[in-house]
Chains A and B, each alone.
Chain A
Amino acid sequence: MGSIEANGKTYETDEEGYLADLNTWDKDVAEVMAKIDDCELTESHWEVINFLREYYEEYQIAPAVRVLTKAIGKKLGKDKGNSKYLYELFPYGPAKQACKYAGLPKPTGCV
């Protein structure tokens, strides 16, 4: 177990930096997580993060990267629903890294 400080609040995480309780998530902790990875969150990042949170809300899972890519393409357009675009935003792997900032568990099947 670890923890992250953001805006005077403490957030518990697992050993890989994912939030222990997704209900504790807010935008501040997402910003701090991104900063740790040297990543500046832009509007485009938030589109993906918000999409993941909605997906989890509906289906109770973090989608595999193939599923994420397809679903983003359908929702936000083909120019965004491809691995090149998503890897540019999230170089550590779109599913893994974006899920972390979104406060979700690591996608099922991700090692």
Chain B
Amino acid sequence: MSDTKKFLFINRKAPYGTIYAWESLEVVLISAAFEQDVSLAFMDDGVYQLLKGQDTSGIGMKNFSPTYSALGDYEITKIYVEKESLEERGLTLDDLQHLVWEDEDEDYAEKDSIRLVSRAELGDVMAEQDVLFNF
């Protein structure tokens, strides 16, 4: 599998003030369709992208937050969320969507995709990658 590279998409911005979050998600889906080893990281205001119960009806933008639940179908099973970023914003994992993937080898058992990591651990994850994308 020499053609497979490890891609990490780092999401740092709030979901709707700019186009970064949606653009990132689109590139993620494209990369996964090409069968690369894709992981996502959410830090800084990027953690807001995963919040439950988003409602964009007042700002005339598409609410793309349901799309994160499709990542498991694209075999994206590693979604890193930085602990410090959550804490600085008064959030916990319970405020985020529950994202899962199905393990075909274990009769489609649902497994959690989100991994809570410290800033230092996220640094280690970045060091393992072939390609980093910053959004």
Contacts and interface: CB of A to CB of B under 8 A. Distances in A.
Given A64-B74, A70-B73, A59 B29 contact: no
Given A108-B26, A109-B30, A109-B33, A63 B64 contact: no
Interface of B: 26, 29-30, 32-35, 62-64, 66-67, 69-70, 73-74, 108
A20 interface: no
Interface in A11-70: 58-61, 63-67, 70
Q: Which of B29, B33, B62, B64 has the most CB of A within 10 A?
A: B33
B33 A61 contact: no
A4 interface: no
Interface of A: 58-61, 63-67, 70-71, 74, 108-109
A59 B69 contact: yes
B33 A60 contact: no
B63 A60 contact: yes
A58 B64 CA distance: 10
A88 B69 CA distance: 30
B70 A63 contact: yes
Contact of B73 (A60, A67, A109): A67
Nearest to A68: B73
Contacts of A65: 33
Given A60-B62, A71-B73, A108-B26, A66 B67 contact: no
A60 B30 contact: no
B30 A63 contact: no
Contacts of B62: 60
Contacts of B35: 66
Contacts of A60: 62-64, 66-67
Contacts of A66: 33, 35
Nearest to A61: B67
Contact of A108 (B30, B66, B108): B30
A59 B64 CA distance: 8
B52 to A, nearest CB: 15
12 contacts: A58-B66, A60-B64, A60-B66, A67-B33, A67-B73, A67-B74, A70-B73, A74-B108, A108-B26, A108-B29, A108-B30, A109-B33
A14 B95 CA distance: 38
